[in-house]
Amino acid sequence: MAYLTSLTEKKIEEALKEFGYSSKKEFIEEAVREKLRELKKLQFFSISERIRKGLKKKGIRPEDVLKEIKS
């Protein structure tokens, strides 16, 4: 694969054997899906932190939000 370094290619080949992947395509697709999940998680945490700071700035506590949700 032209967009991978020879070292990365070698490591993929090793992983294929060691972890029982049936093909490079399977390995790369799984790796990309995992990376995309990780990026989405980071995005979620970033948004959550901005919301937390905004609520704190307005004097709203997490307990207040939970009470509102429960009622």
pTM for the complete prediction? 0.72
> For residue 13, is it within any domain?
yes
Beta strands in 1-71 (DSSP E): none
Give me the pLDDT at residue 62, please: 87
Give me the pLDDT at residue 2, please: 77
> For residue 46, is it within any domain?
yes
Number of domains in the chain: 1
> For residue 30, is it within any domain?
yes
> For residue 1, is it within any domain?
no
Range of the domain at 53: 6-70
DSSP codes of every residue in 11-48: HHHHHHHHHT-S-HHHHHHHHHHHHHHHHHHHHHHHHH
Q: Which residues of 34-56 are buried (b: 16+ CB within 10 A; e: fewer)?
A: eeeeeeeeeeeeeeeeeeeeeee
Give me the pLDDT at residue 1, please: 56
Q: What is the pLDDT along the chain (71 residues), one digit of tens a residue?
A: 578 999 999 999 999 999 999 999 999 999 999 999 999 999 999 999 999 999 999 999 989 889 989 98
> For residue 61, is it within any domain?
yes
